[in-house]
């Protein structure tokens, strides 16, 4: 049985539907992420799970019990807020003890729980510090310890790494994964940062305009997006208008500027269907125009520009008919820093199994 079940939940504000008939279920022990741009409804959904807001329709069910009559303070669900929301007048130890005291735990249990939680988030020695004496990363850890100390059934995390700088963020991501494995508490994580979602989650629900666009494992989402929105929101993608010319195990697609290409086959697609062909830049091979390629899909063009970011370089290539395509090349060859200059004639190509046709 699923730990948390969201059943046809809808929430409207005046004439705006923030969450539109959303259904999903979260398994026990899972690291589940709600991913989407701001205003997609992910935070509204999170507030409803925590109990700060109630659905206009549908049900939120935890361990088989409908939560509609359970106020936030009685739900076995704790939240790590984006702003941490540490109590400024309490020390680190008092902050972490708060949920245990509220649950009426005996003082010996409170002391032991606080001690263990402080060790778990590596804040030993900071027991008597006040929040204003801590760095952003330390505050984050206190918030995590406070959320986990009373072993909730579910820990909700609302963009908890949003306020930290990139380096610290990465470090805390790793700690977050470790912590979740250690305590075995189910996490529901909300973020708009797609890389973070991919790195942390077991499963991700991509939300857009109040609906779930796609719910899948990270590699499935990235590798097999089901809509233009998901393809575009997660990672970089080349998106080219296309019309289906031939159906079957391999699709024939007509790209207006480039002619016909071969793409992986798909069920339920009719000849003449309009949509887009998507392909990730790292699936597009790039070589000098003089070198041949055995790929079925290949075009000659000129380097328009490139983005060098150290480990990889993204080349932007102008193809015939005004079409532009991005190709990613790892800078892994020793003794060489750069492969092509602006204006160089190049050949871009990809395999018949690469890319996908999307009609929505």
Partner 1 sequence: MQAESATRSQSGRLTRLLVSGPPFVFLVVFFLVPALIMVLASVRFPGEFGALAPLFGGAPGEDSGLTLENYRFFFGDPIYAQIFLKSFGVAGLTTLICLVMAYPVALLIARSPKKHRDLMVLLCVLPFASNFLVRVYAWMIILGPFDLLFSRFAVIVGMVYVHLPFMILPLYTNLEKHDPTLLDAAQDLGANAWNRFWRVTFPLSLPGIFSGSALVFIPVLGMFAIPEILGGKDDWLVGNLIKESFLGTRDWPFGSMLSLMLTIAVLAIAGAAAWLARRGVARA
Q: Give whichever of 77 and 185 is closer to partner 1, judged by the CB atom.
A: 77
Q: How far is it, in rounded angstroms, from Cα 114 to Cα 120?
A: 10
Binding mask 28-67 for partner 1 (x = CB under 8 A): ----------------------xxx---------------
Residue 99 is a binding residue for partner 1 (CB under 8 A): yes
- Minimum CB separation of residue 299 from partner 1 in Å reads 54
- Minimum CB separation of residue 95 from partner 1 in Å reads 9
Residues that contact partner 1, how many (by CB under 8 A): 25
- Minimum CB separation of residue 202 from partner 1 in Å reads 24
Q: Give whichever of 11 and 146 is closer to partner 1, judged by the CB atom.
A: 146
- Say how many C-beta atoms besides its own lie within 10 A of residue 174's C-beta: 11
Among residues 349, 350, 351, 327, the alpha carbon closest in space to that of 340 is found at 327
> Is residue 251 a contact partner of residue 262, using CB atoms and an 8 Å limit?
yes
Q: Give whichever of 20 and 63 is closer to partner 1, judged by the CB atom.
A: 63
- Segment contacting partner 1 by CB under 8 A, of 57-65, 74-82, 252-260, 282-290: 74-82
- Minimum CB separation of residue 123 from partner 1 in Å reads 18
| 3-class SS of residue 211 | strand
Q: Give whichever of 73 and 291 is closer to partner 1, judged by the CB atom.
A: 73
- Segment contacting partner 1 by CB under 8 A, of 113-121, 146-154, 279-287, 344-352: 146-154
- Minimum CB separation of residue 142 from partner 1 in Å reads 12
Residue 177 is a binding residue for partner 1 (CB under 8 A): no
- Minimum CB separation of residue 81 from partner 1 in Å reads 6
Q: Give whichever of 71 and 106 is closer to partner 1, judged by the CB atom.
A: 71
Which of 32, 98, 299, 350: binder of partner 1 (CB under 8 A)?
98
- Segment contacting partner 1 by CB under 8 A, of 96-104, 191-199, 244-252, 291-299: 96-104
Q: How far is it, in rounded angstroms, from Cα 331 to Cα 50?
A: 46
- Residues between 116 and 145 with contacts to partner 1, criterion CB under 8 A: 130
Q: Which pair of structure tokens corresponds to residue 206? A: 């991509």
Q: What is the DSSP letter of 160?
A: T
Which of 18, 77, 164, 204: binder of partner 1 (CB under 8 A)?
77
Residue 89 is a binding residue for partner 1 (CB under 8 A): yes
> Is residue 265 a contact partner of residue 250, using CB atoms and an 8 Å limit?
yes
Which of 44, 79, 140, 262: binder of partner 1 (CB under 8 A)?
79
Q: Give whichever of 91 and 331 is closer to partner 1, judged by the CB atom.
A: 91
Q: How far is it, in rounded angstroms, from Cα 258 to Cα 350?
A: 14
Q: Which pair of structure tokens corresponds to residue 335? A: 């003794």
| 3-class SS of residue 176 | helix
Residue 73 is a binding residue for partner 1 (CB under 8 A): yes
Among residues 325, 346, 345, the alpha carbon closest in space to that of 281 is found at 325
Q: How far is it, in rounded angstroms, from Cα 288 to Cα 292?
A: 9
Q: Give whichever of 105 and 220 is closer to partner 1, judged by the CB atom.
A: 105
CA 157 to chain centroid, in Å, comes to 13
Which is it for the CA torsion 156, 159, 165, 171, positive or negative?
A: positive
Residue 262 is a binding residue for partner 1 (CB under 8 A): no
Which of 140, 150, 208, 238: binder of partner 1 (CB under 8 A)?
150
Helices (H), the chain: 42-50, 92-102, 107-120, 136-148, 166-183, 194-200, 218-223, 228-233
Q: Give φ, ψ of 129 to 5 degrees.
A: -80, 150
Among residues 231, 249, 99, 315, the alpha carbon closest in space to that of 240 is found at 231
| 3-class SS of residue 16 | strand
Task: Return the axis-axis angle of helices 136-148 and 166-183, rounded to nearest 10°.
Answer: 20
Residues of this chain that interact with partner 1 (CB under 8 A) are: 50-52, 71-74, 77-79, 81, 83, 85-89, 98-99, 102-103, 130, 146-147, 150
């Amino acid at each position: 049985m699923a730990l948390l079940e969201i059943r046809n939940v809808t929430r409207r504000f005046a004439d705006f539907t923030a969450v539109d008939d959303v259904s999903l279920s979260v398994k026990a022990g899972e690291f589940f992420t709600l991913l989407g741009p701001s205003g997609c409804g992910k935070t509204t959904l999170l507030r409803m799970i925590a109990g700060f807001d109630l659905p206009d329709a549908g049900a939120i069910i935890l361990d088989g019990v409908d939560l509609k009559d359970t106020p936030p303070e009685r739900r076995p669900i704790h939240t790590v807020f984006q702003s941490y929301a540490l109590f400024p007048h309490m020390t680190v130890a008092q902050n972490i003890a708060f949920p245990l005291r509220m649950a009426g735990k005996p003082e010996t249990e409170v002391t032991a729980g606080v001690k263990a939680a402080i060790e778990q988030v590596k804040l030993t020695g900071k027991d008597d510090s006040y929040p204003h004496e801590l760095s952003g990363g330390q505050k984050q850890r206190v918030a995590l310890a406070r959320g986990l100390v009373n072993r909730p059934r579910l820990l909700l995390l609302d963009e908890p790494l949003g306020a930290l700088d990139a380096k610290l963020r990465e470090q805390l991501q790793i700690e977050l994964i470790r912590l979740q494995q250690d305590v075995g508490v189910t996490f529901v994580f909300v973020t708009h940062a797609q890389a973070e979602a991919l790195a942390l989650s077991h499963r991700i629900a991509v939300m857009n305009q109040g609906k779930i666009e796609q719910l899948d494992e990270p590699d499935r989402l990235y590798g097999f997006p089901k809509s233009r929105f998901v393809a575009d929101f997660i990672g970089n993608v080349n998106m080219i208008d296309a019309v289906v010319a031939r159906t079957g195990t391999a699709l024939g697609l007509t790209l207006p500027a480039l002619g016909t290409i071969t793409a992986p086959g798909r069920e339920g697609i009719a000849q003449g269907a309009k949509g887009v062909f998507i392909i990730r830049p790292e699936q597009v091979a790039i070589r000098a125009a003089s070198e041949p390629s055995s790929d079925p899909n290949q075009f000659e063009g000129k380097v328009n520009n490139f983005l060098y970011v150290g480990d990889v370089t993204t080349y932007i290539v102008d193809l015939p008919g005004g079409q532009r395509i991005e190709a990613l090349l790892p800078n892994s060859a020793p003794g060489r820093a750069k492969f092509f200059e602006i204006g160089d004639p190049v050949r871009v190509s990809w395999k018949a199994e690469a890319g996908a046709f999307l009609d929505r």
